[in-house]
Amino acid sequence: MNRRAPYRYRRLTATLLLLSAFVGVSAQHERTHSTMVGAGWASIYDTYLSPYTYHGTNVHLLRETRRPLRSPLLKTDRLTFQTLLDVDLSMVKSPARNVDEYAGGVRYSLSWLYQLPLRGRTSSTQGTDADAAPFTLHLGPQLSAYAGGIYNDRNGNNPAQAKADLMIDFTAMGQFRFQMLRRRCTLRYQAAIPLMGIAFSPQYGQSYYEAFTLGHRDHNVLFAHVGNMPSMRHLLTLDVPLRRSSRTTLRLGYAGEFMQSRFNNLRYHSYTHAIMIGLTQTLNRL
């Protein structure tokens, strides 16, 4: 009798091991959760709906989690796994202020951040670690998915524009820890740049009636890259503990998104700037 596990089980085990290394497995880790809300200014330009830029206000809801990735397979403790859920809604007006447009959507991002070894610093990696270095720099890939749309309340057969993309981004984050008001504060700046992926767009003069009711597709799912979708997202936050030894911190920040595309001769930008406020909690998980 062959006592070796059947091939398919060995393959499954190997896959699970690789997957666990990818998403991270640790006996004990610190996990931070942040929830922020904010409001600010928006500039929306979509030539499918209007040749002009609409301006107005914007609200954001941002949920972030971060935890270290530790696994015997990874052989490093410099990796951090981050998720970002960003819900935004913009209410903007035409230059003549006689038309309203509503733009909104949800972006969900997964990031794998590697802490660069800086000269003269320790190798501690986690932003919530009390012994961490004052300044750390993290880089890595990000996988982000967006679904949303824009609605123009004046247009007839082209009143709305759907927006969707699935992108591989490059993200970089710098953190600086310092003492302020006898509290250990953290200043963080993170930027993400979409590199390549796929995105949805109608054809230049295509109606949604053709695309969806009649099912006439025409270059509606496109290869997106930094050339036709030159975009970036920025996040600047300051964490101030509520009490000196508190694991709950007040988070103040700025979220700036500069999303752009040139697909099928249609031009689009969505620039938003929002002042954010929220709370961050650090939890120890077994």
> In whole angstroms, how close is the CB of 269 to other proteins at the nearest point?
5
> Cα separations (Å) of 9 from 4, 14, 22, 141?
10, 9, 20, 31
What is the token pair recorded at 22? 């990818």
Q: Which is nearer to other proteins, 81 or 263 (CB)?
A: 263
When binding is defined by CB under 8 A, the residue of 89, 99, 162, 240 that contacts other proteins is 99
Opening angle at CA 70, ends 193 and 251, nearest 5: 55
Residues 235 to 264: which contact other proteins by CB under 8 A?
A: 258, 260-262, 264
Scanning the structure block, which residue is given the tokens 């998980």?
285
Q: Which is nearer to other proteins, 67 or 233 (CB)?
A: 233
Distance, in Å, from the CA atom of 41 to the CA atom of 96, rounded to the nearest integer, reads: 18
- Residue 231 engages other proteins in binding (rule: CB under 8 A): yes
Opening angle at CA 201, ends 199 and 202, nearest 5: 160
- Strand-pairing partners, residue 223, are 198
- Residue 156 engages other proteins in binding (rule: CB under 8 A): yes
What is the token pair recorded at 269? 């930008």
What is the token pair recorded at 168? 């591989």
Q: Which is nearer to other proteins, 193 or 279 (CB)?
A: 193
- Residue 83 engages other proteins in binding (rule: CB under 8 A): no
Q: How many residues bind other proteins (CB under 8 A)?
A: 48
Residues 181 to 220: which contact other proteins by CB under 8 A?
A: 191, 193, 203-207, 209-210, 213-214, 216, 218
Q: Which is nearer to other proteins, 48 or 81 (CB)?
A: 48
Distance, in Å, from the CA atom of 135 to the CA atom of 169, rounded to the nearest integer, reads: 23
Question: What is the maximal distance between C-alpha atoms in the chain?
Answer: 83
The window from 96-104, 122-130, 177-185, 241-249 that contacts other proteins (CB under 8 A) reads 96-104
| 211 secondary structure, DSSP code | I
Applying CB under 8 A, the residues found at the interface with other proteins are: 45, 49-53, 94-99, 116, 137, 139, 154-158, 170, 172, 191, 193, 203-207, 209-210, 213-214, 216, 218, 226, 230-232, 258, 260-262, 264-265, 267-269
